[in-house]
């Protein structure tokens, strides 16, 4: 395998590991410190959790990507006919798909978090509810 194609494969594996760790860290931070995020606003809470998750994921990817690269060394780098252009295209596509899955996962976690933080008001308990005219006329 060409050395440049190997670099693209290594970058693809490390980027996928980073994005997976980012998603896991964001979910863990959201669940573990749920009460601490109430003091901040919605945007500040989201940005703080994303920053903390990115920091944890970037620290963890250094050690974990080395382990994963050693485990998949034979299968990931065995194709010697792969050109650098094809390898680059595969890396871009793989990173794009992993990024899309990570973004969707973060959005879903944030939606669940916001629903738990501020549950919607029940319509029957709301003070502003107006009765239909046919029911109001019977009184």
Domain range for 116: 3-120
Question: E strands within 3-130?
Answer: none
Between 86 and 76, where is the model more confident? 86
CA dist., res. 90 & res. 9, Å (int)? 8
The answer to whether position 131 is within a domain reads: no
The answer to whether position 77 is within a domain reads: yes
Q: How confident is the model at residue 31 (pLDDT cuts 50, 70, 90)?
A: confident
Q: How confident is the model at residue 126 (pLDDT cuts 50, 70, 90)?
A: low
The answer to whether position 82 is within a domain reads: yes
- In this predicted structure, the answer to whether residue 36 has a pLDDT above a threshold of 90 is no
- In this predicted structure, the answer to whether residue 125 has a pLDDT above a threshold of 60 is no
The answer to whether position 128 is within a domain reads: no
Question: What's the number of domains the chain is made of?
Answer: 1
- In this predicted structure, the answer to whether residue 111 has a pLDDT above a threshold of 90 is no
Between 136 and 81, where is the model more confident? 81
The answer to whether position 78 is within a domain reads: yes
Average pLDDT over residues 18-32: 91
pTM: 0.73
Closest CA to 22 of 57, 68, 63, 59: 57
- In this predicted structure, the answer to whether residue 25 has a pLDDT above a threshold of 60 is yes
């Amino acid at each position: 395998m060409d050395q440049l194609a190997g670099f693209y494969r290594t970058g693809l594996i490390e980027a996928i590991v980073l994005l997976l760790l980012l998603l896991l860290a964001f979910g863990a931070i959201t669940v573990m410190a749920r009460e601490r995020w109430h003091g901040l606003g919605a945007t500040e809470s989201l940005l703080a959790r994303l920053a903390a998750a990115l920091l944890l994921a970037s620290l963890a990817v250094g050690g974990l990507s080395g382990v994963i690269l050693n485990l998949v060394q034979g299968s990931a780098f065995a194709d010697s006919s792969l050109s650098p252009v094809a390898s680059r295209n595969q890396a871009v596509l793989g990173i794009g798909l992993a990024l899309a899955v990570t973004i969707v996962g973060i959005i879903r976690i944030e939606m669940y978090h916001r629903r738990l933080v501020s549950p919607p008001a029940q319509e029957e308990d709301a003070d502003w509810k107006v009765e239909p005219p046919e029911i109001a006329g019977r009184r």
